[in-house]
């Protein structure tokens, strides 16, 4: 997953009004015959003077946000509710190594431009509050040694996502954050007193509890759960669509090249329904041939930038690939003619220019595409034919007929529109700044930085009083 983060401020303060709903919580105890309601004190009950923050989702965003909230406001009770296993996506991210952030971008404006959606919003104060280097510093200061690879991706030196998971879970315990698993927040509403009333259900038993909380952090990622809660609180939802995937290609001969990699290609995606030119639908970088089509960084970036258009087109399009982007077509033709003159009596299949950095299997694919038999000699190929080979190397056309999922890392673009998110607090604009929306906004990203945007400690003046302020990162951008 790659980087991006929008950031915002959530003020923690004692509410001016007292809720008319008592601090008692009910749970449904079920028997085979009937349900009965029992008003019992649950583990989430708190002291009358103690404020509560409920975090919906135990992924990287929820866990990290909970840690930072507890750090910024030690007297705040913080509870994370997760339906499955905490940090499960962190475990598989980066091929099990956990792609933490990007180490090449120090200019915030340049970094923001790499977000398919939300980059305009990110040009403000977000990155100055917490950028990639802040993420690196946080983990380094908490005992996780990181390394930056040549392409800018940052991983733990251990090459294991367990290093990140262990660090976060240790901080959860140390900071006093409470973690409850096997539960789902199914409904959310605002009480007359301005607090949130949550309905929480267990996954495996017929059991319901109601919790009243002062603050709510929705960090449910692409799960429908978060979208449902946001909608219940009055927000509109942009339907999520896949935003990180490989391309299925209609070319049987291409499948014979499965496993072949190209260190550098230039790929341009044309989508029929795209009404305007999108510069980012042209990308340069590595590409991989799979048994169903094409993958690699170039393809994944194209899928992120073209997510919406590809969805509406039924994942149909035309892909133009330049396999030798550093050479002009005339230079490619010149290299081919020189090779012909030097190796005139050799077979074209067995002898080809090393300048192109191509593998033999792909060279055979090109020859087959142009109808050249394997036994033909270089001397038998006309210069016009060599020009057609040069043209094919510089612009090879592939029909995109569908998509494939990128490993187990499912990324979507959609959710709460950024217009409904207060850019200075990352809070939902319809919830009086008391509901923080994390990872349910529009976007699509494929590394962990957006999740690791912390709630930062600070002081702010509000209505003449000093309040502890926590600023958090809203994830939903694109990829760097």
Instruction: Report the pLDDT value the prediction gives residue 275, as an integer from 0 to 100.
Output: 66
- Is 472 within 8 Å of 293 (Cβ atoms)? no
- Residue 249 domain flag: yes
| Whether residue 287 is found in the same domain as residue 379 | yes
Each residue's pLDDT tens digit in the chain (480 positions)?
333 333 333 333 333 333 333 333 322 222 233 333 333 334 555 565 789 999 999 999 899 989 989 998 999 999 999 999 999 989 988 889 998 988 887 777 777 788 888 777 777 666 666 778 888 999 999 999 999 998 888 999 999 999 999 999 999 999 999 999 999 999 999 999 889 999 999 978 888 999 999 999 998 877 888 889 989 998 888 888 888 899 999 999 998 999 999 999 999 999 977 767 788 899 999 999 999 999 999 999 999 999 999 999 999 999 999 999 999 999 999 999 999 999 999 999 999 999 999 999 999 999 999 999 878 999 999 999 999 999 999 999 999 999 986 555 567 888 888 777 765 555 555 554 455 555 454 444 445 554 444 333 222 222 222 222 222 322 222 222
| Whether residue 150 is found in the same domain as residue 204 | yes
Burial status of residue 436 (CB atoms within 10 A of its CB: 0-12, 13-18, 19 or more): buried
Task: Select from 280, 286, 285 the least CA-distant residue to 310.
Answer: 280
* The domain boundary residue, chosen from 385, 405, 425: 405
- Residue 479 domain flag: no
Instruction: Report the pLDDT value the prediction gives residue 445, as an integer from 0 to 100.
Output: 44
| Whether residue 202 is found in the same domain as residue 66 | yes
| Whether residue 335 is found in the same domain as residue 307 | yes
Split into its structural domains, the chain has a count of 2
Q: How far, CA to CA in Å, does 422 sit from each of 208, 359, 405, 433, 472?
A: 32, 52, 32, 8, 12
C-alpha 164/C-alpha 59 separation (Å) is: 12
C-alpha 203/C-alpha 206 separation (Å) is: 8
Beta-carbon contacts of 77 under 8 Å, excluding residues fewer than 6 positions away, are 46, 50, 51, 52, 53, 178
- Residue 480 domain flag: no
Encoding tokens for residue 240?
């999520």
| Whether residue 94 is found in the same domain as residue 225 | yes
| Whether residue 197 is found in the same domain as residue 250 | no
| Whether residue 330 is found in the same domain as residue 203 | no
What is the span of the domain harbouring residue 380?
245-405
Instruction: Report the pLDDT value the prediction gives residue 462, as an integer from 0 to 100.
Output: 24
C-alpha 68/C-alpha 256 separation (Å) is: 50
Indicate left, alpha or beta for 152 from its phi (over 0: left) and psi (-120 to 50: alpha): left
- Is 27 within 8 Å of 207 (Cβ atoms)? yes
The torsion angle over the Cα atoms of residues 367, 373, 374 and 377, rounded to 10 degrees, is -100
Instruction: Report the pLDDT value the prediction gives residue 413, as an integer from 0 to 100.
Output: 85
């Amino acid at each position: 997953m790659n980087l991006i983060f929008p950031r915002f401020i959530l003020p923690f303060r004692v509410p001016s009004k007292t809720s008319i709903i008592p601090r008692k919580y009910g749970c449904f105890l079920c028997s085979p015959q009937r349900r009965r309601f029992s008003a019992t004190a649950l583990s989430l009950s708190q002291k009358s003077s103690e404020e509560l923050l409920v975090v919906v989702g135990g992924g990287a965003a929820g866990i990290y946000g909970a840690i930072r909230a507890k750090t910024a406001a030690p007297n705040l009770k913080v509870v994370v509710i997760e339906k499955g296993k905490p940090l499960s996506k962190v475990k598989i991210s980066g091929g099990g190594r956990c792609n933490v952030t990007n180490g090449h971008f120090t200019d915030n404006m340049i970094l923001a431009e790499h977000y398919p959606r939300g980059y305009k919003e990110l040009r403000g104060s977000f990155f100055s509050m917490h950028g990639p280097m802040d993420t690196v510093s946080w983990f380094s200061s908490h005992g996780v040694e990181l390394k930056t690879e040549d392409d800018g991706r940052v991983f733990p030196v251990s090459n294991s996502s367990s290093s990140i998971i262990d660090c976060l879970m240790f901080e959860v315990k140390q900071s006093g954050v409470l973690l409850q698993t096997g539960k789902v927040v199914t409904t959310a509403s605002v009480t007359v007193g301005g607090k949130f009333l949550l309905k929480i259900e267990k996954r495996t038993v017929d059991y319901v509890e109601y919790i009243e909380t002062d603050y709510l952090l929705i960090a449910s990622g692409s799960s429908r759960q978060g979208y449902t809660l946001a909608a219940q609180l009055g927000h509109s939802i942009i339907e999520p669509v896949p935003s990180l995937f490989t391309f299925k290609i209609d070319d049987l001969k291409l499948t014979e090249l499965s496993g072949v990699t190209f260190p550098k290609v230039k790929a341009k995606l044309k989508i029929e329904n795209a009404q305007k030119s999108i510069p980012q639908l042209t990308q340069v970088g590595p590409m991989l041939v799979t048994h169903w089509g094409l993958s690699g960084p170039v393809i994944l970036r194209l899928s992120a930038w073209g997510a919406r258009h590809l969805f509406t087109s039924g994942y149909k399009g035309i892909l133009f690939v330049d396999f030798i982007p550093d050479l002009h077509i005339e230079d490619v033709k010149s290299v081919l003619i020189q090779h012909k003159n030097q190796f005139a009596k050799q077979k074209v299949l067995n002898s080809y220019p090393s300048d192109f950095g191509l593998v033999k299997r792909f060279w055979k694919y090109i020859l087959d595409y142009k109808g050249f038999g394997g036994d033909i000699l270089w001397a038998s190929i006309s210069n016009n034919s060599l020009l057609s080979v040069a043209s094919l190397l510089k612009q090879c056309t592939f029909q995109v007929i569908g998509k494939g999922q990128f490993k187990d890392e499912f990324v979507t673009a959609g959710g709460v529109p950024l217009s409904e998110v207060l850019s200075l607090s990352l809070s939902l604009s319809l919830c009086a700044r008391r509901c923080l929306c994390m990872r349910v906004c529009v976007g699509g990203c494929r590394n962990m930085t957006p999740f690791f945007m912390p709630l930062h400690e600070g002081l702010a003046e509000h209505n003449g009083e000093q309040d502890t302020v926590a600023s958090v990162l809203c994830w939903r951008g694109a990829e760097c």
